[in-house]
């Protein structure tokens, strides 16, 4: 396999992973409200997702490192299919909680495994390869798939015949069926495209599970020894708070601003968000070359820009400026992510790559869990704009960690260390 062929496989599997999410994400909170849940109950159900991912991130990351990335990804797809079906049939809080718990299990299993497979396979093919291009292309593929799914979910209910009266099939639940179909396609793609040689993983499942605590202890010990890794995890926790506050509240806020639950509006806004993230991620290689690899400064500017855009979003009193501000937030967050991940990979050896990516995702999910517990209730009392203003302050401050991380020369033994960009 060539490096280009490997990258195309990575992009294809990534795109199918996020196509279903894009179809569901812009509508799921409105669906829950439509089926009788309060905003606080929506936050509570999402908090179950966060705590499930947080509890399983490190064990599943260790499992991916010890058993193999391909089988773990396949199980993750199967769990996600079941979770999406539950979302479709759910009509009360308990079933929604079960659906979000299954989504959390699927996300924890999935977290970091595909990226770790791509990084290790790339380094096996070309030890000196610069990973940033492939990682950024993966982010672009995922973001474009999210946008396509969002448009598909938003416009499909308007072009299909109006469904007969049903407890489950409505304009807001149709996108969930699209998400289930995409999850099935992702499972097929994992089985066909994620080629992991048996020589990389040996032993039985029991032996692999027995190795998980050792892998986790090694990864946590690595983070404990390296200040740069601890700072990166802190930044991810703040991003988790930010992302959750946007994901849970933007749909109710745009409903307030527009007075409508037209799926086309939310599909277009959702697509704009995801395309903005793709634009940000896709610009990273050019930005890095332009600023001579000043990764810490780039990440700091990305945090600052997203915080300022969030302030504008909080102040917006109409749909158009709010949509522009929301999209700008995701442009800057799209710039941040590949730079953040590259800084992380520089400090992590191959044997602990999935686990450390899971630790990073764990920090993200813990931030999201805290946000899901607190922010919907605060928004119900204070209103959504003041809550977003407070989160913007934390987001801006978190960017200060990156210059310190980038200045450090602490590289773990065996970690990836790219050649410097020419010029």
Q: What is the pLDDT of residue 420?
A: 43
Q: Residue 153: exposed, middle, or buried by beta-carbon count in 10 A (0-12, 13-18, 19+)?
A: buried
Determine the average pLDDT of the residues in 58-68. 74
In a domain, 61, yes or no: yes
Tokens of 258: 């527009």
Q: 43 or 18: whose pLDDT is higher?
A: 18
Return the minimum-mean-pLDDT range out of 154-168, 169-183, 197-211, 383-397: 197-211
CATH number of the structural domain spanning residue 319: 1.20.1250.20
Structural domain contains residue 417: no
* Mean local confidence (pLDDT), 216-243: 77
Say whether pLDDT at 220 is over 70: no
* Lowest model confidence (mean pLDDT) among 256-265, 266-275, 319-328: 256-265
On whether residue 419 sits in a domain, the answer given is no
Average pLDDT of the segment spanning 292-307: 82
What is the model's pLDDT at position 364? Answer: 83
Split at pLDDT 50, 70, 90, the class of 332 is very high
Is residue 422 domain-resident?
no
How many structural domains are present in the chain?
Answer: 1
Where does residue 164 fall: left (phi above 0), alpha (psi -120 to 50 degrees), or beta otherwise? beta
User: Is there a domain that residue 342 lies in?
Assistant: yes
For the whole model, what pTM was predicted? 0.71
| Domain-located, residue 420 | no
Average the pLDDT over 51-70 and give the result.
77
| Separation in Å, CA 354 to CA 49, 384, 398 | 20, 36, 24
Measure the CA dihedral 339/340/346/347, to 10°: 170
Question: 395, 399, 249: which is closest to 310 by C-alpha?
Answer: 395
Task: Provide the pLDDT confidence category of residue 19 given band limits of 50, 70 and 90.
Answer: very high
In a domain, 243, yes or no: yes
Structure-model confidence comparison of residues 176 and 64, the more confident one: 176
Name the residue with higher pLDDT: 293 or 259.
259
Q: What is the pLDDT of residue 199?
A: 43
To the nearest whole number, what is the mean pLDDT of the chain?
Answer: 81
Q: Considering only residues 260 and 350, tell me which one the structure prediction assigns the higher pLDDT.
A: 260
Residue 179 lies in a domain: yes
Structural domain harbouring 193: 3-407
Reported as a pLDDT band with limits 50, 70 and 90, residue 274 is confident
């Amino acid at each position: 396999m060539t490096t280009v062929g490997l990258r195309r496989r990575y992009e294809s599997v990534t795109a199918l992973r996020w196509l279903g999410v894009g179809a569901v994400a812009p509508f799921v909170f409105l669906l829950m409200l439509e089926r009788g849940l309060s905003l606080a109950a929506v936050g509570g159900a999402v908090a179950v997702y966060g705590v499930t991912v947080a509890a399983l991130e490190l064990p599943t990351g260790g499992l991916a490192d010890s058993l193999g990335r391909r089988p773990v990804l396949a199980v993750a797809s199967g769990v996600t299919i079941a979770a999406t079906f539950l979302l479709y049939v759910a009509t009360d809080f308990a079933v929604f909680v079960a659906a979000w718990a299954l989504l959390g299990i699927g996300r924890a299993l999935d977290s970091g495994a595909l990226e770790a497979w791509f990084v290790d396979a790339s380094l096996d093919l070309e030890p000196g390869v610069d990973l940033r291009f492939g990682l950024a292309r993966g982010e672009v593929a995922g973001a474009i798939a999210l946008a396509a799914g969002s448009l598909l979910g938003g416009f499909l209910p308007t072009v299909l015949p109006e469904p007969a009266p049903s407890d489950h099939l409505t304009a807001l639940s149709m996108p969930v069926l699209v998400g289930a179909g995409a999850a099935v396609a992702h499972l097929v793609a994992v089985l066909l495209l994620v080629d992991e040689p048996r020589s990389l993983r040996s032993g039985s499942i029991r032996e692999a599970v027995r190795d998980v605590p050792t892998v986790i202890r090694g990864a946590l010990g690595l983070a404990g020894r390296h200040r740069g890794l601890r700072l990166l995890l802190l930044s991810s926790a703040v991003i988790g708070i930010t992302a959750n506050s946007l994901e849970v509240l933007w749909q109710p806020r745009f409903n307030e601003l527009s007075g409508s639950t037209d799926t086309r509006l939310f599909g277009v806004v959702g697509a704009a968000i995801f395309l903005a993230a793709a634009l940000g991620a896709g610009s990273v290689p050019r930005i890095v070359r332009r600023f001579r690899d000043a990764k810490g400064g780039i990440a700091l500017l990305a945090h600052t820009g997203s915080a300022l855009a969030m302030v504008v979003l909080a102040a917006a009193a109409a749909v158009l400026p709010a949509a522009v501000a929301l999209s700008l937030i995701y442009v800057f967050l799209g710039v941040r992510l590949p730079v953040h991940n590259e800084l992380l990979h520089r400090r992590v050896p191959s044997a602990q790559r999935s686990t450390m990516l899971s630790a990073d995702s764990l920090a993200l999910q813990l931030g999201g869990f805290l946000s899901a517990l607190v922010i919907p209730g605060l928004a119900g009392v204070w209103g959504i704009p003041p809550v977003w203003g407070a989160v913007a302050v934390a987001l801006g401050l978190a960017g200060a960690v990156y210059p310190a991380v980038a200045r450090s020369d602490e590289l773990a033994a065996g970690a990836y260390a790219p050649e410097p960009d020419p010029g």
